[in-house]
Amino acid sequence: MDGCIFCKIVNKEIKSYIIYEDNVAMAFLDINPLTKGHLLIIPKKHYERLSQIPEEEMKEFSKSVLKILKLVEEKLTKDYNILVNNGKKAGQEIFHAHIHIIPRYGEEKLFNWTTHKLTEEEANEILRKFKS
């Protein structure tokens, strides 16, 4: 898609550090890594969000994702976070679907999440939404 930075990476119009590429997917280093080896996996075809990838293409993309995960495990580490920022409020800044792979080495302090204990009321409210 015109103006999309990840499409430009797919088309080799801008520099990137590609670690894997096949017909449907590509994995390259994030230019602002959270940890050493932080990389992004993208479908080569432009979709804004992961959930917009058609089922058949998702099947092929998933195979590539699995290959890349195995590569990461073989070459870097078996410990990593998989993160998808799906939508603006979830922190998505580049609207070409992508999966972050964030290797973990033990010392880094990431994702300082604040949680609360799930209440019965809250759980039931969500369950009602899914059941309606």
Residues annotated as catalytic are 98
Does 91 bind ligand AMP (CB under 6 A)? Our answer is yes
Backbone angles phi, psi at 91, to 5 degrees: 95, 5
Backbone angles phi, psi at 43, to 5 degrees: -75, 145
Q: Is 7 or 71 the residue whose CB approaches Zn ion more closely?
A: 7
The correct pick among 1, 11, 31, 122 for binding ligand AMP (CB under 6 A) is: 31
β-partners of residue 104 are none
Does 32 bind ligand AMP (CB under 6 A)? Our answer is yes
Taking the C-alpha atoms of residue 64 and residue 69, their distance in angstroms, rounded to an integer, is 9
Taking the C-alpha atoms of residue 107 and residue 59, their distance in angstroms, rounded to an integer, is 35
Q: Is 45 or 104 the residue whose CB approaches Zn ion more closely?
A: 45
Task: Map the footprint of ligand AMP across residues 42-71, applying CB under 6 A.
Answer: none
Does 44 bind Zn ion (CB under 5 A)? Our answer is no
